[in-house]
Amino acid sequence: MPLLLLRWLRARPGHDDLVTPRPIEKQVVARVRLLLHSVGVETHSTQQTRPSRQARGLPDLWCMSQRTGGFWLEVKRPGGKQSPGQVAFQHGCARANIPYVLGGLDEVVAFLMSRGILASRVATAVLSVNFDDPAAPSGNFQSAREAQ
């Protein structure tokens, strides 16, 4: 990008989205799955690349492990919004006391910390990783028990 254009973009309100684009949902899903797998949480994708006959509002991932039990995960990139079907599914989970996580890496880290699966110092390290950097770690984050 030419330097003058870059300077102009930075001077504009809301320039961050133009200069540093938000990750697409597929990238967020990959990052979240990397983290979950590295702490022993199995994930099963329900995402479809084409129209399907699955229930409307079904979250992106069903996640489970011996330590977390099962939980639904609806992945959203920063600024992403739920569809009406997704909101209805989330409310159904709340009524049935089924854990439901909505968001990206930050929300998954908070959920894992609340369950004692991820230690706070490890969570800080995870959230500071620049996944777009080719030298970024490829996984194997420590769980809360391993970090002690």
| Beta bridge pairs of residue 70 | 64
Domain 25-47+55-131 classified CATH 3.40.1350.10?
yes
Average pLDDT value for residue range 119-141 = 58
Residue given tokens 């959230």 in the structure block: 127
Please count the other Cβ atoms lying within 10 Å of the Cβ belonging to residue 143.
Answer: 18
pLDDT tens track for 56-113: 789 999 999 988 899 999 999 888 999 999 999 999 999 999 999 999 988 998 999 8
Q: Whole-number mean pLDDT of the chain? A: 76
pLDDT higher than threshold 80 for residue 6: no
The band of 116, judged by pLDDT with boundaries at 50, 70 and 90, is confident
pLDDT higher than threshold 60 for residue 148: no
pLDDT of residue 146: 47
pLDDT of residue 125: 65
pLDDT higher than threshold 90 for residue 144: no
Residue given tokens 């990008």 in the structure block: 1
pLDDT of residue 15: 47
pLDDT of residue 92: 97
Residues 144 and 148: their CA atoms lie apart, in Å, by 7
Give whole-number Cα distances, 50 to 24, 46, 47, 54, 96, in Å. Answer: 17, 12, 9, 11, 29
| Beta bridge pairs of residue 73 | 61, 101
Sign of torsion, CA 37 96 48 86? negative
